[in-house]
Amino acid sequence: MQKIAPCLWFDGKAEEAARFYTSVFSDSRIATTMHYTDAGPGPKGDVLAVTFEIEGQEFMALNGGPQFTFTPAISLFVHCKSQQEIDHYWTKLCDGGKPWQCGWLQDRFGVSWQIAPDVLGEMLRDPDTVKASRVMAAMMKMVKLDIAPLEAAYRG
């Protein structure tokens, strides 16, 4: 068990979301499922929360009700080593959701994700600000990130 784990608040779809996320990432699993008891506040037997793991990171999906919804102020960042990985996660997570600019998307549950190649960070941190600036300009024109044009911009 991790000392700190994100808790994602859903309105009745915690179990569905956990199953979806664990289907997208190969190194993942559902760990535990808790149900409401006689003490409520939900109907006895309904799912209260699901603990799941993705790539060694623990998450909790909580059926908290309609009081709160997700915003892009918090997003889950997926480090990708290849265009194939970007394409895989983008396609799966965007299914039923909506794409945004610069590698961001919102999945069908409203959770925001950033699907980005590790090489992007390396290029943007380059001390040659001209190279980094070209990469940033190229990225700002993209929805799903594409490594080849980013690398071409980097090379000039």
CATH class of 70-156: alpha beta
Q: What is the pLDDT of residues 42-98, one digit of tens each?
A: 899 999 999 999 999 999 999 999 999 999 999 999 999 999 999 999 999 999 999
Q: What is the pLDDT of residue 67?
A: 96
Please give the backbone phi and psi of residue 138, each rounded to the nearest 5 degrees, phi first: -65, -40
The domain 1-68 is placed in CATH, from the list 3.30.720.100, 3.80.10.10, 3.40.50.300, 3.90.1300.10, at 3.30.720.100
Domain borders along the chain are 1-68, 70-156
Nearest 5°: CA angle at 77, between 154 and 18? Answer: 150
The separation between the first and the last C-alpha atoms of the chain, rounded to the nearest angstrom, is 46
State the residue for tokens 């999945």: 107
pLDDT at 115: 98
- Residues 6+ positions from 136 with CB-CB distance below 8 Å: 124
- Cα-Cα-Cα-Cα dihedral sign, residues 103, 57, 23, 147: positive
Q: What is the pLDDT of residues 4-38, one digit of tens each?
A: 999 999 999 999 999 999 999 999 999 999 999 99
Q: What is the pTM of this model?
A: 0.94
Name the amino acid, one letter, at 94.
Answer: C
Q: Which residue has the tokens 């090489």?
A: 119
